[in-house]
Homo-oligomer: A and B are copies of this chain.
Amino acid sequence: MGESGNSRWQRKKDARPSEILDAALTLFVDKGYRATKMEDIAQAAGVTKGTPYLYFQNKEEIFKAVVRETIVARMQAMSAQLEQLQDASGSQLLHAALEDWWTHIGATRSAGLCKLMAAEATNFPELARFYYEEVIKPARQLLGYVVQRGMDRGEFRPANLEHVIDMLTAPMLMTMIMSHSFGLVPGCCENITRDPLAFLQSALRLTLQGLQYPVSQDLPS
């Protein structure tokens, strides 16, 4: 026939899994885990009901695979990348990390997945632990390392390390949550989701400002 795709079966074994995961990612992010039907995933991937089951045991495994293939994979790449910028100052590193994160996660569908992960953590304890070990913990270690080095070098004033890490993370979490919950609802949040990156940078600056040594003598916090 003249047309390429007119066969009932489009056989793309190698491409299928990632097509399915891609469709699933979008649907999970848009509608949540429970509200996403397997058949919807199949349809969005251009296949029929049964096909996803050829590649994944069940819905839960699809969800796990989506998390693994997107955030976890990206996280590892980011960690590796940041480890090469050893010479930069703490501020520079944190700014670089923020931009990197924004490019590869914050501004992508992955951000919606983070929100979903938070929403569903208690329903998938095993996955939550995995996510914690593979994403949250390494991310926090990386940030902790950078901040601690800054303190050691006198770039930052001493402060509770965990709290600083939380402080650096909170705006990112907020951005992801807001832009994938209220931000998606028409008529909510006209002034919140304007320019998330601007907020993130502003937040980072504010936090770094707070980490500077006061000029005159001040009590350490």
Contacts and interface: CB of A to CB of B under 8 A. Distances in A.
Contacts of A153: none
Given A132-B188, A177-B177, A206-B207, A122 B166 contact: no
A6 interface: no
A118 B119 contact: yes
A221 interface: yes
- What does DSSP make chain A's interface, helix, strand, loop or mixed? helix
Interface stretch (A15-23, A78-86, A168-176): A168-176
Interface string A169-213: 111011001101110111111011010001100110111111110
A128 interface: yes
Contacts of A174: 166, 169-170, 173-174
Contact of A171 (B159, B160, B166): B166
Contacts of A50: none
A141 to B, nearest CB: 11
A53 B167 CA distance: 44
20 contacts: A30-B122, A32-B34, A32-B120, A32-B122, A122-B181, A122-B184, A132-B185, A132-B188, A136-B182, A136-B192, A159-B206, A162-B194, A163-B206, A167-B206, A170-B173, A177-B177, A205-B210, A207-B210, A209-B210, A215-B215
